[in-house]
Amino acid sequence: MAEPKKKRVLAVSSGGGHWVQLLRLRPAYQDQDIAFATVNSDYQQDVTQHRFFLINDATRWDKMALLILAFRLLFIFIRFRPQVVISTGAACGYFAIRLGKLFGATTIWVDSIANVEEMSLTGQLVGRHADLWLTQWPELAQPQGPYFHGGVL
């Protein structure tokens, strides 16, 4: 049987826990043609054998940084043309999912495990736009999404 063709997967997250969780999901996408976009150039050490794009960090209160972030991601989308986008948050994940839909990619949002009692704010905003919307806590699952399908632990 022929090997299934690899898909271009863009994995996007901000720093700290978001990045660690994105890496914990790696076995799910590492057989594909993958690239990472994240906010700290030091993280490249974690994924040396893969394409790496640096983006800026932005909180929802900093409109200018959000705008720059959106444009940087747009530039990455034009260059890499991902067929799949996966994100664990936060703000950069919002733009990545929205751009992913715009570019016709399959989009996956895995809400951070840090959100035990309610979905993250970004998750609430962007979840419905993702093709696959997951929470890591069964209590937060809803019939229309987010779905629960296990966690990063």
- Judged by the rule CB under 8 A, the positions of this chain that interact with another protein are 4, 7, 9, 15-21, 24-29, 32, 40, 42-43, 45-46, 84, 86, 106, 108, 110, 112-117, 131-132, 134, 136-137, 147-153
Identify which of residues 60 and 79 has a Cβ nearer to another protein in the complex. Answer: 60
Under DSSP, the state recorded for 84 is E
Q: Give the closest residue to 85 by CA, choosing from 136, 131, 54, 145.
A: 131
Work out how close the CB of 152 gets to another protein at its nearest, in angstroms, rounded to a whole number: 4
Identify which of residues 56 and 75 has a Cβ nearer to another protein in the complex. Answer: 56
Identify which of residues 53 and 147 has a Cβ nearer to another protein in the complex. Answer: 147
Identify which of residues 23 and 75 has a Cβ nearer to another protein in the complex. Answer: 23
- What whole-number distance in Å separates Cα of residue 2 and Cα of residue 68? 42
- What whole-number distance in Å separates Cα of residue 70 and Cα of residue 76? 10
Work out how close the CB of 119 gets to another protein at its nearest, in angstroms, rounded to a whole number: 11
Strands (E), the chain: 8-13, 33-38, 51-54, 84-89, 106-110, 132-135, 147-148
